[in-house]
Each structure stands twice: as structure tokens, then as C-alpha cells.
Amino acid sequence: MSITIKQLKYLCAVADYQHFTKAADASFVTQSTLSAAINELELQLGVKVFERNKRSVLVTPLGKKVLVQARIILGEVEDLLSLAEDFKDPLSSELRLGVIPTVGPFLLPPMLSDLRSQFSKLKLYLKEDMSARLLTQLQDGSLDLVILALPFELPNMEVVTLMSDDFFVCLPPEHCLKEAESICQDELRGEDLLLLEEGHCLRDHALDACNIEISDSNVVYEGNSLHTLVQMVANNLGVTLLPAMAVDANILGDTGLQLKPFTGGGVNRKIGMAWRQTDPRRDEYIVLAKFIANRPTI
């Protein structure tokens, strides 16, 4: 059919040893095998590479060129093998990770330096988008992994939960609930609730958490990032819900806003990680998931 890498190896061996039998020994085959292989190669190339002489093996002028090329090929093959070798240890290569916008700025940045030190060869490409679009990209292969809020319909994906992320109510300093230790979900029913735009899952989770429908809503404005919402609260436009993750990342800064937990707890979102069931790098993703779940507290 075609020439083989084995033939090229034998070829180089003969050139190195200038001797069929020695080359055969060094290649761990018998001389007849090597002899046949060289013959076959010469037949396929249509030219003689070696000039056999009972006394010595000479390389023809063409042979020299062929040898140069053969060594190039073998070198490239070596490169291919080491390329694969480098990939074997977990998280040692490219990882295209999609994250939802209400997680991205808060979860990953604080751990990037730790990630880098533990998986020095990892090249992380981050893509921030809303859950539905992340799923599309995961399905078509343009993302390897997504981090989003659960539950979310993820057909053919393997999903692990990374953590639970409590919601807090964020109030302006002079809000009437400012003295409360904690806030009951129903207490928010009359408040002006500030939400993200349509499509952000946090919007739905917040509505869930407050037991309200968007129809009977008192939503007065929609922001496109949590930072915007915080600014709006600071300007007395209403209240909002913030995930602990964002709070931990100091989203409030020096706004002086108040944070109240929900009474009794349990008002939260689950953060999960998902990948295609068929993805061969599953084990690596598990490693990464554990790393994220056990991240050092900030």
C-alpha cells in the first residue's frame, strides 16, 4: 500500500551501522526481516537507497537525500508521540470552559493562581454566556465543559454539583427591613425587586426564592449584571438577591448596603459542572470539579 514507519526506522538503522546484520540486531529483528523490509521500501520508492557490496554497505546519492527525509519523518512522528504524552497527565492542555455570567466573575478569578500552580500546563479558555447558549456550544463541541446553575436540562451530559450558593437579600441602608436578623421569603412580596434580564438563570432562581411570578411582579428595572443591580440598590431603586459567591467576591465594595440571610436558610442555587457523556476527558473534569468544590475559602 504505502511505505511504513518501520521501514524508515530500519533504513536509518542500516545507515547508522553500515551493516545489515548489526542494524537488524539493533532493531530487534532478524537480518532476513530487515533485508526484506529494505528491499520492499526500495521497491516502493522505485530507487535503490543502498548499494550492497559483500564488503560494505554504501549509501547512494539519492539514499542520502532519502535518509535526510526519513529522519525528518521519524522526528515528526516522535513529536506526535510526545505531544500525546504531554496530554496524558490530567488538565495539561486546552480546556474550553463556559460559565454563566453570574458565576464567572466570582468563582474562577480567585482560584486562577491556585489552578495555575497545580496544573501548570492547563490552558483555560473562558467563555461567558447564558446557560442555554452554553449548552448549545457544549453540544456542538465548541466548549468542553460548562459551569452553570442547576437544575438545568442537559441532555446527554454528565453533571456534577460543585457547591450550594446561598442567596442573600441586598437592601439599601435605610430600608425598613434593615433591623431584621433574617428575612422570610414572603416579606419580599411587596418590595421592588431588581432582576437581571430575561435569560439569566439567576433571574428565575430569584423569582423562585421569593415565591413570586413575573406576572404579579413589581419589577421596576432589569440590569445586565449583578454589579449593575448593586448600583441600582445603592440608588434606592429597590432590593435584589445576591448569591454568596458574589458577596464573597466583595461585590458590595464600599456601598454600605445591607445583606440579610433568608430565615431558616435553604434558599440557594446549586452550581454544577457539565460535559458531554461521550467526552474522553471525563476523568480530568472530575479532577477539576473536585478542585473547585474544595477550593480554599477566600
Partner DNA sequence: ATGCATTGATCGTTTTTTTCGATTACTATT
Partner DNA sequence: AATAGTAATCGAAAAAAACGATCAATGCAT
Minimum CB distance to DNA smaller for 20 or for 285:
20
Which residue in the set 5, 16, 30, 266 belongs to the binding site for DNA (CB under 7 A)? Answer: 30
Minimum CB distance to a copy of itself smaller for 9 or for 205:
9
Q: What residues numbered 137-156 form the site for DNA, per CB under 7 A? A: 155-156
Q: Which long-range contacts (CB under 8 A, 24 or more apart) does 219-226 make?
A: 219/192, 219/193, 219/194, 219/195, 220/192, 220/194, 221/194, 222/194, 222/195, 222/196, 222/197, 222/198, 223/194, 223/195, 223/196, 223/197, 224/196, 224/197, 225/101, 225/196, 226/102, 226/196, 226/202, 226/251
70 binds, among DNA, a copy of itself, none (CB under 5 to 8 A by kind): a copy of itself
List the Cα angle 119/123/129 in 5-degree steps: 120
Which residue in the set 77, 176, 184, 220 belongs to the binding site for a copy of itself (CB under 8 A)? Answer: 77
Smallest gap from residue 40 Cβ to a copy of itself (A) = 14
Say which amino acid occupies 175: H
Which residue in the set 13, 66, 108, 196 belongs to the binding site for a copy of itself (CB under 8 A)? Answer: 66
Instruction: Write each residue from 153 to 192 as x if it is in contact with DNA (CB under 7 A), else as -, in one continuous string.
Output: --xx------------------------------------
Q: What residues numbered 223-282 form the site for a copy of itself, per CB under 8 A? A: 276, 278-281
Q: With contacts defined by CB under 7 A, name the span among 33-41, 86-94, 129-137, 164-172 that binds DNA.
A: 33-41
94 touches a copy of itself by CB under 8 A? yes
Whose cell is 545489515? That residue is: 20
Which residue in the set 21, 32, 47, 112 belongs to the binding site for a copy of itself (CB under 8 A)? Answer: 47
List the Cα angle 169/175/180 in 5-degree steps: 60
Q: With contacts defined by CB under 7 A, name the span among 31-39, 70-78, 122-130, 178-186 that binds DNA.
A: 31-39
Which residue in the set 5, 16, 32, 68 belongs to the binding site for DNA (CB under 7 A)? Answer: 32
Distance of alpha carbon 242 from alpha carbon 230, whole angstroms: 9
- How many positions of this chain bind a copy of itself (CB under 8 A)? 48
Distance of alpha carbon 151 from alpha carbon 159, whole angstroms: 10
Question: Quick count: other Cβ atoms within 10 Å of Cβ 218?
Answer: 12
- Interacting residue ranges for DNA, rule: CB under 7 A: 1, 4, 6, 19-22, 28-33, 35-40, 52, 54-55, 57, 155-156, 277
